Amino acid sequence: MNNTNFPCKCPTCSRGLKVTHLVCDNCQTIVSGHFDIPPLGRLVGDDKLFLEAFLMARGSIKETGARLGISYPTVKARLETVLAGIAAEAGPCPEGHGKEKTIRINFSMESATPLPAGFFIPLEWPDMAEAVIEQKIAPRLREKGRELDMAAIKNALGAGAPGSIVEMSGDGLKLSISIE
């Protein structure tokens, strides 16, 4: 993989660039059009390195700080700055958007830090929802002798139909995963 920075701004006028074609490495098929570069694709420099470190740390602020050699409060402040920049780059949702289905995860358990109430993940990111469930929730449930049927959860996330996927409670825990 080529690790050079992707150009995001015109070298002549500094305005944003558009992608006009993509090429398949395997069969050389060319897809042409005028495509916007997604906000995450426009990250450069320290913001790009910070977000990569944050993702490699699986969203752990403490581990991100250790990887980058910066304090916990500095990681939180950088994260807020990067997120604000991404939101500004993304701009408002196009007409007809904004009512997309989302995956909602609510989880609380005695002796565990709860996820923020109403933790939402866009339905287009089922892998992120699976990672949160597998890495943050499932291990805590196993400590209580509970198991999740990850195959059923993955199927439900893939289908994207509104409704409840998992409801669990008792023994000091409460978990609900739904598509809304």
Q: For the CA atoms of 76, 81, 84, 85, what is the dihedral angle to 10 degrees?
A: -140
pLDDT at 69: 93
10-residue mean pLDDT series, the chain (180 residues): 62 80 80 76 81 90 92 88 71 47 69 53 73 78 81 80 75 74
Closest CA to 178 of 157, 147, 149: 157
CA angle 87, 92, 96 (to 5 degrees): 135
- pLDDT of amino acid 101: 66
pLDDT of residue 141: 80
Q: What is the pLDDT of residue 120?
A: 66
Sequence-separated (6 or more) residues with CB below 8 Å from residue 20: 32, 33, 34, 35
Global pTM reads: 0.42
Query: What's the pLDDT score for residue 109?
Result: 66
